[in-house]
Structure 1
């Protein structure tokens, strides 16, 4: 492994450690023992849930290829997952407000465990069912747990400022440390113990089962709107009215969709961007480096949210501008630096610059998650929290499905060019460089628009919110 990877990983580790050790009393929030017990219980459960998710991510594509499926079939499976999250996940997630958030969290565990079990079958239909179940579980993961936490935090009478502490710690652990450990553990199961690509899914099911047992034994139930005269359609209508009538909620939803859409697109693009000619890159180590950068961002967010100034609405403008600039780097380097034509060589100078830019973007992701959680806790009405949060994911899932569809389409065009004009084009950057640059540019524009919307949100942050009808 080239020294550059160690250098970046070591530098990020030193910065994260320095930030954590240098925190002063101004950067820490004084809390009560009761809250600490509540927070630690939630962090254990959330970390187990994220471990179950992170263990699967790096091996889904690899598992499908071992079953003999091509990129087109795999693309359809991924599209099915995001489409399921948009359609079925929105309905199931919204039921949490009426049927109970704790029950929705247990449903997440059961649904994702069933999705893991389907990975043992090489049959396409069974795998498709698994993707649909996984899409439903994803919607529950990113709505029900946060909704339960906010409602339970308020029900127990804890101070509002303490909520940001739980958010930042959850992202630091769940989207940082747990992601790194899950990647290493999955690599151990597949490559060291040679248990095969389905082993991480079995391990994920075990972690999810443990988390479900903790939820069922220690969590109490809470609801958004327990009224019996409100059916699901009425909930959707009320959530839509809330988004349309309250500019802050609408802005928050647009900002979230723009950023998360860019983030998921980045997940698809970083590998071809760093290895346009099939260069040998350590995917697992680079992934761990990105997660370390995300931990750096969440550490910065915990410091910022512990203080009264600057406000979340203020510093997030800067975060969006920086993230927009970081995703412009591949486009800039493609114009300024000559592309390498040699297949399989080590990392190029432009790819080194890309990694630095991508780590900057991941640090912005680490700041984004706890910050958007805090803003959602302030602006989204409690009685329809899960419903509105799942509404926010509809444009996100549409966008990601379009990206996936075009990714498969562009691959087929590149394959056709190779067949028509000779094998010398198969590894030519011109086959993939243009669509990759276009998509990075599109993401950069989206993030810049998010910064403009964030500025507007800051201007009206103190405006009273409207209550649901």
Structure 2
């Protein structure tokens, strides 16, 4: 492995360690033991949930190819997963609000475990069922757990600002450290122990089962709107009215869809971007480097959110501009660096430049997650939190499905250019969100109440 990869990984490691060790009292928020116990319990569960998710990611495509499926059939399986998340996500989100977020989190565990079990079958129809179950589970992962946390945090009377601690730590651990360890553990199972590509899915099921046991034994139930007279259609209508009547919620949904759509597109594009001529690149090590960059971003976010200034709405504008610029690099290098016709070999000079830019993008991802969680906790009404959050994922999943279906129709530079434009538009929308949020300054810090329910749009 080339020294370049070690240098990048080592430099990022040093920065992350330095950020964590040099935190001052201004970068930390003193919290009581009751909150710390609550936070640590959630972080343990969230880390186990993310371990179950990260273990599967690197091996899904590989497993399908080992079963003899071609690129087209594998693409259909991936589209089924995102399509399932789009079609069923809002339904399961509404059920989480009405039937209970704890039940929804347990349902996530069961659904994802069943999805893992289907990976033992080489039958296309069984694998398709697994992808559908995986899509439903993904919707629950990115809505039910956060909804339970926010509701339980408020129910226990903890300070609103303390949410930022839990959010940043969850991303630092779940989307950073756990992702790296899961990648290494999966590599040991498949390569070192030669247990085959289905082994990571079995390990994921075990982690999910452990997390489910902790949820069942230590979590209490909370609801959005448990009123008996509201069916699913009424909940959908209420969520739609909330989004349409509050520009802050609509802007937040658009920003989230633009960023996440670009992020998921990047997941498919970074490999061909770094190895256009089938250069020999260490995919696992690069993935670990990206996750380390994400940890760096979440560490920065924890510092930013611990202070009163700059506020989330302000610094996220810069984050979106930087992320947009980082995805322009493949386009710039294609013009400035002459393309090589040599097949194979090590990573090219332009690939090295792009890798640095991609690390910057992943650092922005690390800042984005806790920051968007913080803004969602401020602006989305509690009554339909899971429903609205899954509404946000509808355009995201449509976008990803379209990209997957047409991934070979456009040059890679066009795809990166599209993502860069989306991210720049997100920065403009973020600026608009800041302007609206700062209007009623007398409403108190963090827009706490603006108050989340200015006209109570859900009271219909």
TM-score norm. by structure 1 comes to 0.94
Question: In the TM superposition, what is the alpha-carbon distance from 1:52 to its structure 2 partner?
Answer: 0.1
Counterpart selection for 2:428 from 452, 457, 460: 452
Match of 1:91 in 2: 91
Question: In the TM superposition, what is the alpha-carbon distance from 1:342 to its structure 2 partner?
Answer: 0.8
Q: Determine the C-alpha separation between the residues in 1 that align with 2:295 and 2:191.
A: 26
Assess if the C-alpha contact under 8 Å between 1:189 and 1:199 holds in 2.
yes
Assess if the C-alpha contact under 8 Å between 1:94 and 1:387 holds in 2.
yes
Counterpart selection for 1:437 from 413, 430, 440: 413
Question: In the TM superposition, what is the alpha-carbon distance from 1:88 to its structure 2 partner?
Answer: 1.3
Query: 1:362-401 residue pairs with structure 2 within 5 A?
Result: 362-401=362-401
1:466 lines up with 2:455 in the alignment: yes
Q: Determine the C-alpha separation between the residues in 2 that align with 1:49 and 1:98.
A: 22
Query: 1:401-440 residue pairs with structure 2 within 5 A?
Result: 401-407=401-407, 409-410=408-409, 435-440=411-416
Q: Deviations over 1:74-115 (max 9, x none)?
A: 000000000000001221122100000000000000000000
Q: Deviations over 1:395-441 (max 9, x none)?
A: 0000000000001x54xxxxxxxxxxxxxxxxxxxxxxx62100000
Q: Determine the C-alpha separation between the residues in 1 that align with 2:344 and 2:186.
A: 26
Query: 1:181-330 residue pairs with structure 2 within 5 A?
Result: 181-330=181-330
Question: In the TM superposition, what is the alpha-carbon distance from 1:315 to its structure 2 partner?
Answer: 0.2
Q: Deviations over 1:33-73 (max 9, x none)?
A: 00000000000000000000000000000000000000000
Match of 2:444 in 1: none
Q: Secondary structure at the match of 1:299?
A: helix
Question: In the TM superposition, what is the alpha-carbon distance from 1:456 to its structure 2 partner?
Answer: 0.3
Question: In the TM superposition, what is the alpha-carbon distance from 1:159 to its structure 2 partner?
Answer: 0.4
Match of 1:125 in 2: 125
Q: Determine the C-alpha separation between the residues in 1 that align with 2:301 and 2:420.
A: 22
Match of 1:103 in 2: 103
Assess if the C-alpha contact under 8 Å between 1:242 and 1:466 holds in 2.
no
> Unmatched 5+ residue regions in structure 2?
441-449
Q: Deviations over 1:383-404 (max 9, x none)?
A: 0000000000000000000000
Q: Determine the C-alpha separation between the residues in 2 that align with 1:340 and 1:466.
A: 60
Q: Determine the C-alpha separation between the residues in 2 that align with 1:316 and 1:76.
A: 35
Question: In the TM superposition, what is the alpha-carbon distance from 1:466 to its structure 2 partner?
Answer: 3.3
Assess if the C-alpha contact under 8 Å between 1:51 and 1:204 holds in 2.
yes
Question: In the TM superposition, what is the alpha-carbon distance from 1:310 to its structure 2 partner?
Answer: 0.3
Q: Determine the C-alpha separation between the residues in 2 that align with 1:283 and 1:370.
A: 26
Q: Deviations over 1:301-339 (max 9, x none)?
A: 000000000000000000000000000000000011001
Q: How many residues align?
A: 445
Match of 2:75 in 1: 75
Match of 2:158 in 1: 158
Q: Deviations over 1:158-202 (max 9, x none)?
A: 000100000000000000000000000000000000000000000
Question: In the TM superposition, what is the alpha-carbon distance from 1:10 to its structure 2 partner?
Answer: 0.1
Q: Determine the C-alpha separation between the residues in 2 that align with 1:92 and 1:450.
A: 27
1:144 lines up with 2:133 in the alignment: no
Q: Determine the C-alpha separation between the residues in 2 that align with 1:138 and 1:94.
A: 15
